[in-house]
Structure 1
């Protein structure tokens, strides 16, 4: 069983799909690891570190030759996988909805593509969930990015020269990223509030010491979709939420938005008119900017200014913490493959519950139900 680890080719991608730690773990299962030269350089992992862990380090052609499983962070272009044998697995974050043509290319090449972001949100798969591990870091980094752009201190400071008021931080969307953003902003001493369409998150917000901002006068709307994701809300709820948020956002120094709906454009949470009510020098960080953005006027890959407010739209936020993001991502991949490792077969054998959920292509066809007809 040969497992190949590729050097990422996407612009700005600094993560890597395996670390020396997971190389050793895969080797202990009986696998042979081959790592592309320079794969870990941007994440501060040297080729020598991989070699010391027991991997072979070589160019892409040699790494792909005979590989049974290929690991990546982002899905590579099908043309870059020339030499990969039919039936081999490609295990990575494949962005199936956003890169459908690429998925079709994997099918045409006979590759069995497994999308890690389609991992079901069930208890036994928690350690395999790349969305959670990477979102956790995104929420943390969003607060640091906001602090870097904000021209004032976060905590309240009492000095002989007077008192500096604590920054007011408002987090919109309380999933994994949002909860980490709340916790990080609190640790920095900010006064934190948060909102979400899912009523179940109210207690989570309070448990972190933040103030929940919720629509109370619209009944029967929970906002909880399958797998713990939010769903789109009724027009009545959206109107009530917009009114509540508009009044609250005008008083905030920093706003962090994290709302995403899988397979759909990010919901618009903040309008240009709402931005105009914020005081000059305020900061908004849009973690959904690559999926269309929660904030009107946000630009992917840029920090722009509107009405005196900075709107931060960094791409691929986990990659901005490449070493830790790689370590967590690599563990997710190992936890996934090792959970199904069959000693007799000398390779992982997937079950239906998880295998059918993550498998995009097989036998030259797109087979995932979520993509059929899309």
Structure 2
């Protein structure tokens, strides 16, 4: 099976394949073809990939004959339409905000394996790119904030006096939040954290942070382990409870996101204004609308003396490790789907991992939420319309 690895568009610094993982694909029996210069952002030469058993080709002709294509960032609609018909594509596809590309993938008959939809099970952890990148984002957020803060993080005793430790408040104790807590503690900061899920309190405390308790009423988490969305009233109660903590903090890191929806607004303009000038807020949800009033996606802005960091690719700040982890996640997924007898990926819909992350297949959008959103915005794909016609002619129930 021929697997193609195109380069990602600048300013992306991460890559989809490292020489180490390329060698693993070769051992698996896959024919790996990558675009010339793919590893250049990280200093990986084309020769390093060749030595690992991969073929290096120019951009022109890269996709010719490709049976699978691996990407990192979401495809544009024109890129989706340029994929070989009937191929398999693997990547972080951002399906709810990238509907044009999803429709194009279905129209092309492409089987799209959406990395965001990998189930959060013990077995699938090795394939979970969303978590691996979030963990690095949590680390990078603390380092970035420490660089921009006008004081040191640890307590320091000097002849001139004792410097109190910086206070860090992490909102959200998911993968990114827990890594941010651990990193801030290692740097010597005094760390507090809040999450709407009471079940994570033990994890927060185990990392040496104080868990901030705010009564917002009945909360819970999804089957995938994510926090459920709060009501408008619950969000307001949460903001009121966090206001004093934010005012006393030197660094605030927000991580709350709801897959497929706009990120909840957690810090209002008044809460930001209540923080000390020179404080830093890193909004990890900037790309999906932001948790903080005033955040600008992709930029750093200063509001009333408080720096709001809305950079949208924090894993790219540690691109070498992020690339190694992403490439390994993709390899583990493909290895799981690999049929050694046929020497190719075989999509078995009864398989738990395949069924969960297969976004489009045989001309149809399989994810119910994405499909319903597409249908609400326009007509179904040609393939879906054809299937609907057949269904009516045979008087069979719609699957």
The answer to whether the Cα contact below 8 Å between 2:80 and 2:101 also exists between their aligned partners in 1 is no
Matches within 5 A, 1:135-174: 135-174=134-173
The answer to whether the Cα contact below 8 Å between 1:44 and 1:323 also exists between their aligned partners in 2 is no
Please tell me whether residue 289 in structure 1 is matched to residue 289 in structure 2: no
**What's the CA shift string for 1:195-254, capped at 9, x where partnerless?**
0001111111100000000124x55x2331231111122445333322211121111110
Matches within 5 A, 1:205-220: 205-216=204-215, 219=217
Report the CA distance between 1:110 and its aligned residue.
2.4
Q: Quick one: distance in 1 between partners of 2:220 and 2:238?
A: 12
Q: Quick one: distance in 2 between partners of 1:369 and 1:355?
A: 15
Q: 1:279 aligns with which of 271, 276, 290?
A: 276
What SS does the corresponding residue of 1:357 show, helix, strand or coil? helix
What SS does the corresponding residue of 1:33 show, helix, strand or coil? strand
TM-score scaled by structure 2? 0.90
The answer to whether the Cα contact below 8 Å between 2:22 and 2:54 also exists between their aligned partners in 1 is yes
Report the CA distance between 1:337 and its aligned residue.
0.8
Q: Quick one: distance in 2 between partners of 1:288 and 1:366?
A: 27
**What's the CA shift string for 1:38-82, capped at 9, x where partnerless?**
112113322121111111111123321111111111133353467
Q: Quick one: distance in 1 between partners of 2:246 and 2:127?
A: 36
In the superposition, relative to structure 1, how do residues 29 and 304 fare at CA in structure 2: closer, same or farther (>3 Å)?
Answer: same
The answer to whether the Cα contact below 8 Å between 2:80 and 2:104 also exists between their aligned partners in 1 is no
Counterpart for residue 175 of structure 1 = 174
What SS does the corresponding residue of 2:71 show, helix, strand or coil? strand
Please tell me whether residue 305 in structure 1 is matched to residue 312 in structure 2: no
Q: Quick one: distance in 1 between partners of 2:303 and 2:3?
A: 48
Q: Quick one: distance in 2 between partners of 1:68 and 1:38?
A: 21
What SS does the corresponding residue of 2:372 show, helix, strand or coil? coil
Counterpart for residue 221 of structure 2 = 224
Please tell me whether residue 17 in structure 1 is matched to residue 35 in structure 2: no
Q: Quick one: distance in 2 between partners of 1:359 and 1:27?
A: 24
Q: Quick one: distance in 1 between partners of 2:296 and 2:84?
A: 40
In the superposition, relative to structure 1, how do residues 82 and 203 fare at CA in structure 2: closer, same or farther (>3 Å)?
Answer: closer
Counterpart for residue 361 of structure 1 = 360
Greater shift after overlay, 100-109 or 231-240?
231-240
**What's the CA shift string for 1:1-59, capped at 9, x where partnerless?**
111111012x4211111111111111111111101011121133221211111111111
Please tell me whether residue 201 in structure 1 is matched to residue 200 in structure 2: yes
Counterpart for residue 381 of structure 2 = none
The answer to whether the Cα contact below 8 Å between 2:219 and 2:228 also exists between their aligned partners in 1 is no
Counterpart for residue 261 of structure 1 = 258
Q: Which runs of 5+ in 1 are unaligned?
A: none
TM-score scaled by structure 1? 0.95
In the superposition, relative to structure 1, how do residues 52 and 82 fare at CA in structure 2: closer, same or farther (>3 Å)?
Answer: farther
Greater shift after overlay, 150-159 or 109-118?
109-118
Q: Quick one: distance in 1 between partners of 2:331 and 2:120?
A: 17
The answer to whether the Cα contact below 8 Å between 2:77 and 2:100 also exists between their aligned partners in 1 is no
Q: Quick one: distance in 2 between partners of 1:60 and 1:366?
A: 29
Counterpart for residue 2 of structure 2 = 2
The answer to whether the Cα contact below 8 Å between 2:339 and 2:345 also exists between their aligned partners in 1 is yes
Aligned residues: 371
In the superposition, relative to structure 1, how do residues 173 and 83 fare at CA in structure 2: closer, same or farther (>3 Å)?
Answer: closer
Please tell me whether residue 36 in structure 1 is matched to residue 42 in structure 2: no
Counterpart for residue 131 of structure 2 = 132
Greater shift after overlay, 316-325 or 175-184?
316-325
Q: Quick one: distance in 2 between partners of 1:232 and 1:82?
A: 34
What SS does the corresponding residue of 1:67 show, helix, strand or coil? coil
Greater shift after overlay, 287-296 or 364-373?
364-373
Counterpart for residue 396 of structure 2 = none
Matches within 5 A, 1:102-141: 102-141=101-140
